[in-house]
Amino acid sequence: MAASGRWWDEEDNRWLPAGEVHAWEQGTNQTVCGLSLHRSRLSRFAAVPWAEALPESGGAADAVRRVCPRCAAAAARHAGARPGWRRTNPRP
Ligand SMILES: [Zn+2]
């Protein structure tokens, strides 16, 4: 994934995304929705799975303020192709 900001998680010893997050595939220099990583000043998080950045998953989403809807839709389609994967929505 790629994000507009990042912070250091001392418990896990890794950078975690902050601000707005986009899906990003390793080996490309743009997000899944077509933003240039460089021009949009996005940081890459190769070690953080996309699902962890979603607020409903909790894992790495503490500082995530916005999930790009186009990337989320693309990632959901991608993940939906795998059997056994279910999207969970927290109750308000
Ligand atoms: Zn995006």
- Give me the pLDDT at residue 77, please: 85
Distance separating alpha carbons of residues 34 and 14, to the nearest angstrom: 26
Q: How far is the CA of 69 from the centre of ligand 1 (A)?
A: 7
Count structural domains, the chain: 1
Burial class (CB in 10 A: 0-12, 13-18, 19+), 43: middle
In a domain, 88, yes or no: no
In a domain, 86, yes or no: no
Per-residue pLDDT tens over the stretch 12-50: 899 999 999 999 998 999 999 999 999 999 999 998 989
Q: How far is the CA of 9 from the centre of ligand 1 (A)?
A: 23
- Give me the pLDDT at residue 39, please: 97
Q: How far is the CA of 21 from the centre of ligand 1 (A)?
A: 7
Q: How far is the CA of 24 from the centre of ligand 1 (A)?
A: 8
The confidence band for 75, taking pLDDT boundaries of 50, 70 and 90, is confident
Domain of residue 7, residue span: 2-80
